[in-house]
Structure 1
Amino acid sequence: MSYENILLNKEDKVSIITINRPESLNALNAQTIREISSALDELNSDASCRVIILTGSGEKSFVAGADIKEFSDFGQEKAEELARNGQNTLFNKIENMTKPVIAAVNGFALGGGLELAMACHIRYASENAKLGLPEVTLGLIPGYGGTQRLPKLVGKGIANEIIFSAKMIPAQRAKEIGLVNEVYPIEELLTKTRELANVIAHNSPMAISKAIQAVNLSDTEKGFETEIKYFGELFDLDDKKEGVSAFLEKRKPNF
């Protein structure tokens, strides 16, 4: 499939989706959301793809936010539809992918951009990255999961500070509070992200898929029971048999 606002690059077991709207600092509009969603569907059904990296073009911006021009004249009904469709089409889809999605945050990640990064399973950032949720300066609140995912990552107090103040958080501070996993110089960001992706790509894809689902339920009553269920299910699958055999034979597994 061809795309206008994103680039899709498949490299062995790792695929990279690059949001490519540099003229608008990679802002999310409806078409870009649909294209990322379609690319994720394509990669989720591609057995050769084990890990997905999501990043922005250039060195200034991951995603500078949503394209405000698209919804500036919306009323309540259309605004609720916008938020619901966006969450179902893209943000929740990322969180519930069967393959890990790593955000390589290469600059501004504001509003919908930070929400996009938070929907990913892992976040690496460049030293020049700035992260924040500025919606209250527009008389709004985050609508793509920001009020729900941020407290889970950094705690309610810090999440409230970030949301209420609308201030931008520098990359190093984002690491300190657990909003991003690691921070690297901009020229090393994608290399370091690929290194992590390659490590993950050589582990059991079935086990990782089950782990994603279990971790996503870690703050619910179903969490422990889901872990037990998936732990048991994996014992009957080929990946477990290969992994245990490789361990006993002192070789690397071939998943």
Structure 2
Amino acid sequence: MTAPYVKSTTQEAVTTIEFFHPAHNSLPGNVLSDLANAIKKAGNDDGCKVIILKSGGDRTFCAGASFKELIAIDDEKTGEVFFSGFANVINAMRKCPKFIIGRVQGKTVGGGVGVASATDYCFATKFAAIKLSELNIGIGPFVVGPAVERKLGLSGMSQIAINANEFYPAEWAHQNGLFAEIFESTEAMDEHVSAFAKALTQYNPEAMKEMKKMFWTGCENWDELLAERAKISGRLVLSEFTKETLKRFK
């Protein structure tokens, strides 16, 4: 099995950041940390004008939180630190002065929906169904909720958060604003993502930077908001309900 990784490559002013985990691209703490750092680094790189965010493999985009790490949490502080990993990635994406293009090749769950939602323009295949499954294990999409709500609206976010056992098809995510375009195949999507990113490199970086600030207006309190949400998740993951549910997954 391939070891987890986060890797960045820059070509013709386009930085591609790819994350991978053999467990369906789930996100343990070290991958979350590396991902946040890669986004910050690309944002500060003068040789980068636009970022493509993708995951490895050809099936699942992201399975969300690492169940192995969730099961191991045994105190509130550890839980808060774990969920803060998602907060750090979302805030890094929010603060990054470059447009981040999402490339979603398959199903995405929980925290993965939050990551996709925090991109500035997101492409997906018809296989990219989404699910906010947190309520199933006794917590909720507290940390990723603001990012998902920003894209889907409160109605769309609450719908998939409450109906936590159902995948919503890519077309639904497209109609509700998460995905800008959906494609029949990964190959067709990649061709379009590449052309789209290349076109963006021809635009004024200062204009794109100011546009990004404009698009994220109203989210300036997210450092504090997501930190508070991480505390809620860190507390709930220790509940008897969640512990028993995670045992069944184990």
Compute the TM-score of the two structures, normalised by the length of structure 1: 0.78
Give CA deviations for 1:158-208 in whole Å, capped at 9, x if unaligned: 221100001211111111111211001222112211211111111111111
Q: Is the 8 A contact 1:128 1:186 kept in 2?
A: no
- In the TM superposition, 1:102-141 aligns within 5 A as 102-141=101-140
CA distance in 1 between counterparts of 2:69 and 2:179 reads 29
1:212 and 2:228 are equivalent in the alignment: no
1:42 and 2:46 are equivalent in the alignment: no
Is the partner of 1:95 in helix, strand or coil? Answer: helix
Is the partner of 1:48 in helix, strand or coil? Answer: coil
Which residue in 2 is equivalent to 1:151? 149
Q: Is the 8 A contact 1:127 1:186 kept in 2?
A: no
CA distance in 2 between counterparts of 1:84 and 1:53 reads 23
Which residue in 1 is equivalent to 2:56? 57
Give the deviation of 1:5 after TM superposition.
0.7
Identity among equivalent positions (%) equals 22
CA distance in 2 between counterparts of 1:85 and 1:37 reads 8
Q: Is the 8 A contact 2:26 2:62 kept in 1?
A: yes
- In the TM superposition, 1:1-255 aligns within 5 A as 5-21=5-21, 23-74=22-73, 75-87=75-87, 89-145=88-144, 147-166=145-164, 167-184=166-183, 185-217=185-217
Give the deviation of 1:218 after TM superposition.
5.3
Q: Is the 8 A contact 2:29 2:82 kept in 1?
A: no
Which residue in 2 is equivalent to 1:248? none
Which residue in 1 is equivalent to 2:228? none
Give the deviation of 1:93 after TM superposition.
0.8
Question: Quick one: which amino acid aligns to residue 34 of structure 1?
Answer: S
CA distance in 1 between counterparts of 2:32 and 2:102 reads 15
Q: Which protein is bigger by CA-based radius of gyration?
A: 1
Give CA deviations for 1:20-67 in whole Å, capped at 9, x if unaligned: 22x211111111112112222321222111111011112101111111
Q: Is the 8 A contact 1:61 1:106 kept in 2?
A: yes
CA distance in 2 between counterparts of 1:43 and 1:97 reads 8
Give CA deviations for 1:116-151 in whole Å, capped at 9, x if unaligned: 111111111011111111000001111432x21222
Question: Quick one: which amino acid aligns to residue 180 of structure 2?
Answer: N
Runs of 4+ in 1 over 4 A off after TM superposition: none
Q: Is the 8 A contact 2:42 2:48 kept in 1?
A: yes
CA distance in 2 between counterparts of 1:43 and 1:123 reads 18
CA distance in 1 between counterparts of 2:127 and 2:4 reads 27
Compute the TM-score of the two structures, normalised by the length of structure 2: 0.80
Task: Identify the structure with bigger relative contact order (alpha carbons < 8 Å, sequence gap 6+).
Answer: 2
CA distance in 1 between counterparts of 2:124 and 2:188 reads 10
CA distance in 2 between counterparts of 1:123 and 1:72 reads 31
Give the deviation of 1:110 after TM superposition.
0.7
Give the deviation of 1:7 after TM superposition.
2.7
